[in-house]
């Protein structure tokens, strides 16, 4: 016979804090954005979260789930006149449902749509943005290479040479998201004439363009990363993105995409809290729910603290973005800090689930693997911290 009553805190509470808007961030949004965010949350939790697990297990692209995101208008997120806080919270909500699909939305908006809109020619904007906005057209962002990841700024080896009225692109790229399903790729190459890094819009069905999926990843398994080879790929001179000349233009894009990863870290931690709280409420050991044990509450509180800390950082970043004063050091700092906090949070959550945290049936193992991928892409922890260190000291510690 049970002698200890089930604590009231074991079940979901109706208040905002227990609903996991830990800092009442949504209250800073205007009514229309707050309403849309709520609608997106319910859509993503009901139509994406659990449905993504099978595709994640099989390492398959979830085209039907991407269609759900497109129908919700997330292909045009970067083009809408909304606040940076709204866009960030949307990215967090997509990541809360599935990190791979959040990466699809983020790469699509931050790296492809944002680049074409800000740096593309009038013709490129006119031809590409309508299809991108509805996600009928998918683009990839091809920067990193097999031998150049962290040092790609100085080491980028893919070449571009002008031959009459065509550019000829040769080289290889690695870890290129969506390359196997994209209609075109924004390929960064070094002009052999002036050694300047430039971007080119290259259709993926052009002769000489080949994308091979990278298999057996421990995380981000729905996102189709690929090895790309470019063998004498010829494109018209109009394929050059006129505003994307020089590596500073790359940094213009990466500054905001690194901040986006901070929002992903918020969303992943919210997902871990969702899973851990629900498990603690329903799982009983020693005749009591796990939620009634002090060490379990300590774990949940630590996860919540990490999540709130990440959210607070990202709310301030959104203010800097809206003011137009976000710097690369800000983005690097939040990318490194928030993903590290997410890594700890999902590790705590996986431990709380015990053996049930070892399989994706309980979701936490999926979050655990995805956190490892997120901690690495858009600049490793160490590289982003060196960017912060350079800003603090005025001295570069990068080798070379």
The domains found in the chain, sorted by start residue, are 25-134 (1.10.540.10), 139-245 (2.40.110.10), 248-393 (1.20.140.10)
Q: Which long-range contacts (CB under 8 A, 24 or more apart) does 380-385 make?
A: 380/150, 381/336, 381/339, 381/340, 383/150, 383/332, 384/258, 384/332, 384/333, 384/335, 384/336, 385/332, 385/336
> 262-292 burial, b for 16+ CB within 10 Å, e for fewer?
bbbbbbbbbbbbbbbbebbbebeeeebbbbb
Q: What is the DSSP string of 38-88?
A: HHHHHHHHHHTTTTHHHHHHHT---HHHHHHHHHTTGGGGGGS---HHHHH
What phi and psi, each to the nearest 5 degrees, are found at residue 342? -65, -40
> What whole-number distance in Å separates Cα of residue 343 and Cα of residue 331?
18
> What whole-number distance in Å separates Cα of residue 282 and Cα of residue 342?
24
Tens of pLDDT along the chain (400 residues)?
Answer: 334 433 333 444 445 665 778 899 999 999 999 999 999 999 999 999 999 999 999 999 999 999 999 999 999 999 999 999 999 999 999 999 999 999 999 999 989 999 999 999 999 999 999 999 999 999 999 999 998 877 777 789 999 999 999 999 999 999 999 999 999 999 999 999 999 999 999 999 999 999 999 999 999 999 999 999 999 999 999 999 999 988 787 788 888 889 999 999 999 999 999 999 999 999 999 999 999 999 999 999 999 999 999 999 999 999 999 999 999 999 999 999 999 999 999 999 999 999 999 999 999 999 999 999 999 998 899 999 999 999 999 999 986 5
Strand stretches in the chain, DSSP E:
139-142, 159-163, 166-177, 184-191, 197-203, 209-213, 225-236, 240-245, 284-285, 288-289
For the record, the structure tokens of 337 come out as: 């800090």
For the record, the structure tokens of 352 come out as: 């709380």
pTM for the whole structure: 0.92
């Amino acid at each position: 016979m049970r002698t200890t009553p089930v604590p009231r805190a074991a079940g979901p509470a109706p208040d905002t804090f227990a609903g996991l808007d830990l800092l009442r961030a949504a209250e800073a949004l205007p009514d229309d954005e707050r309403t849309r965010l709520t609608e997106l949350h319910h859509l993503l939790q009901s139509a994406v979260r659990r449905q993504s697990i099978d595709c994640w297990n099989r390492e398959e692209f979830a085209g039907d789930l991407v269609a759900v995101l497109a129908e919700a208008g997330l292909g045009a997120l970067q083009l809408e006149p909304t606040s940076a806080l709204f866009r960030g919270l949307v990215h967090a909500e997509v990541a809360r449902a599935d990190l791979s699909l959040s990466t699809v939305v983020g790469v699509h908006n931050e790296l492809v749509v944002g680049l074409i809109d800000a740096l593309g020619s009038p013709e490129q904007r006119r031809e590409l943005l309508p299809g991108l906005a509805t996600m009928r057209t998918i683009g990839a962002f091809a920067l990193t290479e097999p031998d150049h990841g962290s040092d790609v700024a100085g080491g980028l080896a893919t070449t571009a040479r002008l031959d009459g009225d065509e550019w000829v692109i040769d080289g290889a790229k690695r870890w290129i998201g969506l390359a196997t399903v994209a209609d075109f790729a924004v390929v960064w190459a070094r002009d052999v004439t002036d050694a300047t890094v430039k971007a080119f819009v290259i259709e993926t069905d052009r002769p000489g363009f080949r994308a091979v999926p990278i298999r057996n990843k421990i995380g981000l398994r729905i996102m189709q990363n690929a090895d790309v080879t470019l063998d004498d790929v010829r494109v018209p001179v109009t394929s050059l993105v006129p505003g994307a000349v020089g590596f500073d233009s790359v940094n213009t894009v990466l500054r905001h995409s690194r901040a986006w990863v901070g929002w992903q870290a918020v969303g992943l931690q919210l997902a871990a809290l969702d899973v851990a709280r629900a498990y603690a409420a329903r799982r009983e050991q020693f005749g009591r729910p796990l939620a009634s044990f002090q060490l379990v509450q300590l774990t949940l509180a630590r996860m919540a603290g990490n999540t709130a800390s990440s959210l607070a950082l990202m709310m301030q970043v959104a203010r800097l973005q809206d003011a137009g004063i976000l710097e690369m050091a800000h983005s690097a700092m939040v990318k490194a800090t928030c993903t590290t906090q997410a890594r700890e949070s999902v590790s705590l959550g996986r431990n709380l689930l015990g053996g049930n945290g070892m399989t994706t049936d309980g979701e936490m193992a999926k979050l655990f693997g995805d956190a490892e991928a997120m901690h690495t892409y858009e600049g490793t922890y160490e590289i982003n911290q060196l960017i912060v260190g350079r800003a603090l000291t005025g001295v570069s510690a990068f080798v070379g």
